Amino acid sequence: MNKLYAGFATTDITPAMGTPIKGYYVERFVEGVLDRLSVHALCLQAGEKKVVLISCDLVGVPTNIGKETCALVAEAMHIPVEAVYLHGTHTHTGPSLHEDHPLVNEYVAFFKKRVVQAALLAEQDLKPARMGYGIGRAPNVSFVRRFRMKDGSVATNPGVNNPNILHPIGVIDDRVSVVRFDREGDSVVLVNFANHPDTVGGSLVSGDWPYFLRETVERALPDTRCIFFNGAQGDINHVNVFPTGGYLNDTFNDFDDVSRGYKHTRYIGRVVAAGVLQAFDKVQYVDVEDLAFGHRSFEAPSQMPTPEELPEAILINELHVTGRDAELPYQGMMLTTMVADAARKVRLKDGPASFPMTLSAVRVGPVAFLGIPGEPFNGIGRAIKETEGFDMVIPTCLTCGYQGYFPMQDAYDEGGYEARSSNYKAGIAELIVSEAQKLLATL
């Protein structure tokens, strides 16, 4: 017997001019707005249990701010904090919540209020609903961004048409997971797809391609609202290093050798929306009699530097923070990699030996959501999707925290930006998969 209720709401979280922007190792501040940022909230209830799934157009919500925000939502809705599922879509053209700056401090307070408001409005909107789920495809818009080079090295984002590229390292998952909630007179569609929203660049605010995904879905499907949760995108982005035909239309080569462009952002959103449309009318409907939710915490070992590594790291970090990158013998993504590697070594020179980490999960009938508080590699997502006992498992990045990259074992063996910048020792990906499956088993 179906007992499901669903409610939806959205609030605006566009930042003020001059607010620092998070997403690169260069300073940026908001100079204008291409499209407005939003919080989207989906409240679900079955019987006595209630959860709220919240998606925010931000690069991520720092763990401490995420905990505070989830606690405020839980208190306002009179639900356990584990029933609050807070996600950042990972747009690289949104405000920073990570630094001590007057406008950031103001924005954090504003953000918390808007999240609580969205959650309460979604709760007020609860109506009887029927749930269905399905899978579409979004081909040729997401690409592995780590490559084996002809000299045997490994590079992240080595540049478009780089003749030294041998082959990509990794497998793309182009599945678009769709969960549809039909109510009398309207529908809410939840979408999950794995790809970095880093296609705009610059200092103008944008929700990146998830914004266009939502806009396209809502225009194509009357009386339908769309909410998006990004997947395991840590080693996946939009860069086609060997484009053909008109693939580079409306793009430019940015400072880090990454092709970007606002109209290309729209293109990706439309292709992912097409994956939604493939599944929308043919979802498998199921009765939802109950919900479940939970957290699982564990310690993740730290990737501390050796004493021999520190002198060079301290020098590189000092040159970078004092604005002297030109004195370093690196360019493009290699510069970003070396700066990030040095920052990690300086940051962890005195420990800690491990970091506390918490995974989040929600089950809605036979569909489960598994939240990871950082940027998991695509291999983590594919492994979690295979967890037994569910019709569909949806892994989401940057959920209830922002704790950096979680690379696969081979990334540590081979090197590259993500593994060199990660706070965590090799084995973190496999540990997350194991702990995720244990958490899902409790639901």
pLDDT above 90: percentage of residues in the chain:
90
Indicate whether 166 and 267 sit together in one domain.
yes
Distance in angstroms (rounded) separating the CA atoms of residues 433 and 340 = 25
Predicted local confidence at residue 295, as pLDDT: 98
Indicate whether 115 and 70 sit together in one domain.
yes
Sort strands 165-168 and 146-149 into parallel, antiparallel or unpaired.
antiparallel
Indicate whether 249 and 369 sit together in one domain.
yes
**Among 205, 194, 56, 97, residue whose Cα is nearest residue 137:** 194
Residue 435 falls inside a structural domain: no
**Among 422, 404, 252, residue whose Cα is nearest residue 337:** 422
Q: Are 381 and 396 in contact (CB under 8 A)?
A: no
Strand partners, 259: 253
pLDDT band for position 282 (cuts 50, 70, 90) = very high
Q: What is the pLDDT averaged over residues 375-404? A: 97
Distance in angstroms (rounded) separating the CA atoms of residues 233 and 400 = 16
Distance of CA 58 to the CA centre of its chain: 9
pLDDT band for position 98 (cuts 50, 70, 90) = confident
Residues shown for the chain: 443
**Among 113, 126, 106, 108, residue whose Cα is nearest residue 72:** 113
Residue 276 falls inside a structural domain: yes
Longest CA–CA separation in the chain, Å: 68
Residue 384 falls inside a structural domain: no
- Average pLDDT over the chain, rounded to an integer: 96
Peptide bond into 301 cis (omega under 30): no
pLDDT band for position 425 (cuts 50, 70, 90) = very high
Predicted local confidence at residue 305, as pLDDT: 96
- Please count the other Cβ atoms lying within 10 Å of the Cβ belonging to residue 246: 7
Predicted local confidence at residue 219, as pLDDT: 98
Predicted local confidence at residue 414, as pLDDT: 82
Indicate whether 49 and 193 sit together in one domain.
yes
Give pLDDT tens digits for 363-372: 999 999 999 9
Say if residue 34's pLDDT is above 90.
yes
| Secondary structure (3-state) at 300 | strand
Distance in angstroms (rounded) separating the CA atoms of residues 334 and 339 = 8
Indicate whether 33 and 157 sit together in one domain.
yes
DSSP-derived letter for residue 235 is T
Predicted local confidence at residue 120, as pLDDT: 98
Q: What is the pLDDT averaged over residues 271-295? A: 98
Say if residue 184's pLDDT is above 90.
yes
**Amino acid, res. 50:** K
Residue 419 falls inside a structural domain: no
pLDDT band for position 417 (cuts 50, 70, 90) = confident
Q: List the domain range (segments joined by +) for residue 322.
A: 305-350
Indicate whether 274 and 371 sit together in one domain.
yes
Sign of CA dihedral 162, 272, 439, 399: positive
| Secondary structure (3-state) at 322 | coil
Global pTM? 0.94
Number of compact structural domains in the chain: 2
Indicate whether 85 and 47 sit together in one domain.
yes
Give pLDDT tens digits for 137-157: 999 999 999 999 999 888 888
Residue 182 falls inside a structural domain: yes
DSSP-derived letter for residue 67 is H
Q: What is the pLDDT averaged over residues 205-233? A: 98
Predicted local confidence at residue 135, as pLDDT: 98
Q: What is the pLDDT averaged over residues 198-221? A: 98
Say if residue 347's pLDDT is above 90.
yes
Distance in angstroms (rounded) separating the CA atoms of residues 178 and 317 = 43
Residue 177 falls inside a structural domain: yes
Say if residue 25's pLDDT is above 90.
no
Indicate whether 62 and 144 sit together in one domain.
yes
Distance in angstroms (rounded) separating the CA atoms of residues 384 and 396 = 10
Indicate whether 137 and 273 sit together in one domain.
yes
Sort strands 49-56 and 84-88 into parallel, antiparallel or unpaired.
parallel
Write phi, then psi, for 124 (nearest 5 degrees).
-65, -25
Indicate whether 107 and 212 sit together in one domain.
yes
Say if residue 285's pLDDT is above 90.
yes
Per-residue burial over 21-57, b if 16 or more Cβ lie within 10 Å, else e, is bbbeeeebebeeeebebbbbbbbbbbeeebbbbbbbb
Distance in angstroms (rounded) separating the CA atoms of residues 223 and 64 = 37
Distance in angstroms (rounded) separating the CA atoms of residues 37 and 206 = 7
Give pLDDT tens digits for 294-344: 999 999 999 999 999 999 999 999 999 999 999 999 887 788 889 999 999
Place of tokens 């962890």: 348
Residue 57 falls inside a structural domain: yes
Torsion of CA 392, 117, 111, 36, to 10 degrees: 80
pLDDT band for position 416 (cuts 50, 70, 90) = confident
Q: Are 387 and 358 in contact (CB under 8 A)?
A: no
Strand partners, 38: 12
| Secondary structure (3-state) at 109 | helix
pLDDT band for position 61 (cuts 50, 70, 90) = very high
Indicate whether 158 and 216 sit together in one domain.
yes
Predicted local confidence at residue 256, as pLDDT: 83
Sign of CA dihedral 13, 16, 17, 19: negative
Residue 442 falls inside a structural domain: no
pLDDT above 70: percentage of residues in the chain:
100
State the burial class of residue 151 (Cβ atoms within 10 Å of its Cβ: 0-12, 13-18, 19+).
exposed
Give pLDDT tens digits for 233-269: 999 999 999 999 999 999 999 988 889 999 999 999 9
Give pLDDT tens digits for 99-132: 889 999 999 999 999 999 999 999 999 999 999 9
Q: Are 271 and 399 in contact (CB under 8 A)?
A: no
Indicate whether 33 and 153 sit together in one domain.
yes
